Amino acid sequence: MHALIIVDMQQASIANSDKYDCEGVVSRINKLSNTVRSHPGLVIFIAHDGEEQEGLLPHSDGWKILDSLTMKESDIIIRKKANDAFYQTPLADTLVKHNVSKLLICGWATDFCVDATLKSALNKNYQVTAVADCHTVSDRGNISALQVINYHNWLWSNMIATQHKIAVLKSNDITFG
Residues 7-51: tens digit of each pLDDT:
999 999 998 778 999 999 999 999 999 999 999 999 999 999 999
Q: What is the rounded distance in angstroms from the CA atom of residue 66 to the CA atom of residue 69?
A: 6
Q: The domain containing residue 90 runs over which residues? A: 2-173
Average pLDDT, rounded, for the chain: 96
- Contact by Cβ (8 Å): 76, 44: yes
Q: What is the rounded distance in angstroms from the CA atom of residue 154 to the CA atom of residue 125?
A: 20
pLDDT score of 120 more than 90: yes
Q: What is the mean pLDDT of residues 152-158?
A: 97
Q: What is the mean pLDDT of residues 83-102?
A: 98
Confidence of residue 162 (pLDDT cuts 50, 70, 90): confident
Report CA dihedral (36, 38, 39, 43) to the nearest 10 degrees. Answer: 30
Number of compact structural domains in the chain: 1
Amino acid at 139: D
Q: Dihedral of CA 101/128/31/44: which sign?
A: positive
Q: What is the mean pLDDT of residues 153-175?
A: 94
Q: What is the rounded distance in angstroms from the CA atom of residue 164 to the CA atom of residue 177?
A: 17
Confidence of residue 161 (pLDDT cuts 50, 70, 90): confident
How big is the chain, counted in residues? 177
Q: What is the mean pLDDT of residues 52-79?
A: 96
Domain CATH for 92: 3.40.50.850
In SS3 terms, the chain reads as CEEEEEECCECCCCCCCCCCCHHHHHHHHHHHHHHHHCCCCEEEEEEECCCHHHCCCCCCCCCCECCCCCCCCCCEEEEECCCCCCCCCCHHHHHHHCCCCEEEEEEECHHHHHHHHHHHHHHCCCEEEEEEEEEECCCECCECHHHHHHHHHHHHHCCCCCCCCCEEECHHHCCCC
Confidence of residue 75 (pLDDT cuts 50, 70, 90): very high
pLDDT score of 72 more than 80: yes
Q: What is the rounded distance in angstroms from the CA atom of residue 60 to the CA atom of residue 174?
A: 34
Task: Tell me what pLDDT residue 45 has.
Answer: 98
pTM: 0.97
